[in-house]
Structure 1
Amino acid sequence: MAMKYVNKLVFAALVTSAVLTLSACNTTGVKTTGADVEKAAELMATLRFVPVLEVDKEGITQPYEALPNPYIKRGRIDKESVSQFITARRAFNKGDFNSATKTLNALTQSDSSLSGPWVLLGDIAMESKDSKLAITHYQKALEINRSNMNAWLRLAHALRVQGEFLKAQNVYAHALAEWKDCPEAHLNLAVLYDVYLNLPLRAQKHMEAYMFLTGGEDKKVANWLMEIQKRTGVAQALPADKTLLKPVS
């Protein structure tokens, strides 16, 4: 079941509209990822990003307040840039990669503050089976905006496709450092741990985090988590209980 499900996980939607895909694209002032990925050769600690429930003096478990997606905090975006991106996205969805690439290249020249076009260029490269070029594009997106969670997830996926499992793990760690409550990062990291790195206990912790942060509604992941628990022999530490999760403000 794991291998049938794994390839669908990385593309779980973080944002849906073209405006949100372009959002929060101002440079953060921190240059990232090319060097980060190249120097990443060892397993990074990630359990510190798993939600921890606090108990008050009366022994009552307190609701957890998940942090919002930092990528949603967007600035003003030029209408023409939005229009161009929508055009490129439509061409991509139709499989017209040449037209999409042409539009995106023009957009990156006219508005260099946007990270979204680089992510879509990376997606085109992945569809064209060029994971090396895709990695370059995703890294460029993250140089522009570290908070672009789509870029982090796509970069990790591209590295996984290349068999660079430790580097992919490092990228998920960097993503969670930017947004520790990103459900999709927890889920995809859990898959990486379980299927590719043979670290089922770590997989369990991050899969529990995903189920908790999403209210436990994904039945396929719930079944996968139960299967992992049977292998680890470790009881579930983080309940998938909506009442313990505060709505994101």
Structure 2
Amino acid sequence: MNWANWGAVAVLLCLAGCAGAPRQPAAPAAPDPDQARLEADFAQAVAAMKAGDRDTARAGFQRLLEAHPERTGPRANLAILAYEEGDAAAARAGFEAVLAQAPEHRVALNYLGILARERGDFEAAEAYYRRALAQAPDDPAALLNLAFLLDIYLGRPDQALPLYQRYQAATPTPDPRIDDWLFDVRNRQ
């Protein structure tokens, strides 16, 4: 064998050595107990919120927010609680803080749309709802809120009609009240 061939063999051996033995698949990661505790605490706070126990829910979300300020869920739920209690200023501040962390958070966008509509800023409300729908095109809440805004507040039933239809298609069980509303919108056109 001549020296040129030895050079080629040496390169191939080097490349084969670099490849090494086939790698074994990594063992599944052990469950993170901190993550499991976080999820359990969040689930408890959500359950309290659904049960109407606002004080327990608020305390749970507040503890989670203090321990994990990078998480948007506790902050968003605190803002929802503020909204449900009629504290629009606190709700708006909370949802804006969520958007500062996660600019396309669809729940915060939808609630900010509601708050904008309630204060008569229909242009901002429409923009918030459309941003929410850009994130989740079949989000029932954003579809229905935008449809109502366009139909009732902005007098654009022709633009609302397909949104009502998309809302009905996006819900597991179509709402008969929206069927009546669709009938009314079609009659007005």
Q: Which runs of 5+ in 2 are unaligned?
A: 1-31
Residues 131 and 162, structure 1, Cα contact 8 Å, conserved in 2: no
Q: In the TM superposition, what is the alpha-carbon distance from 1:225 to its structure 2 partner?
A: 0.8
Which piece of structure 1 moves more, 78-87 or 118-127? 78-87
Asked if residue 164 in structure 1 is aligned to residue 121 in structure 2, the reply is yes
Q: Larger helix proportion, structure 1 or 2?
A: 2
Match of 1:219 in 2: 176
Whole-Å Cα distance in 1 between the matches of residues 168 and 61 of structure 2?
36
Structure 1: gaps of 5 or more residues:
1-75, 233-249
Contact 2:83–2:91 (CA under 8 A) maintained in structure 1 = yes
Cα separation, 2, equivalents of 1:92 and 1:214? 23
8 Å CA contact 2:106, 2:131 repeated in 1? no
TM superposition score normalised by structure 2: 0.70
In the alignment, what sits opposite 1:194?
A: 151
Q: Distance in 2 between matches of 1:92 and 1:218?
A: 25
TM-score, normalised by the number of residues in structure 1: 0.55
Q: Secondary structure at the match of 2:174?
A: coil
Q: Deviations over 1:194-239 (max 9, x none)?
A: 122222111112112223444883322122111101111xxxxxxx
Checking the alignment, whether the CA contact within 8 Å between 1:115 and 1:141 is kept in structure 2 is: yes
1:180 to 110, 133, 137: 137
Task: Provide the secondary structure at the position in 1 that maps to 2:37.
Answer: helix
Matched residue, 2:89: 132
Deviations 1:6-37 (A, max 9, x none): xxxxxxxxxxxxxxxxxxxxxxxxxxxxxxxx
The aligned length equals: 157
Work out the CA distance in 2 between the residues paired with 1:171 and 1:194.
16
- CA distance change for structure 1 residues 213 and 102 in 2, over 3 Å: closer, same or farther? closer
Amino-acid identity (%): 28
From 101, 112, 122, the counterpart of 2:58: 101
Kindly name which structure, 1 or 2, has the bigger radius of gyration based on alpha carbons: 2
Match of 1:149 in 2: 106
Shift of 1:143: 2.9
The structure, 1 or 2, with the larger RCO (C-alpha pairs under 8 Å, 6+ apart) is 1
1:80-139 Cα distance to aligned partner (Å, 9 max, x none): 222222332344345443443333222112112321111210121112211121011122
Equivalence for 2:74: 117
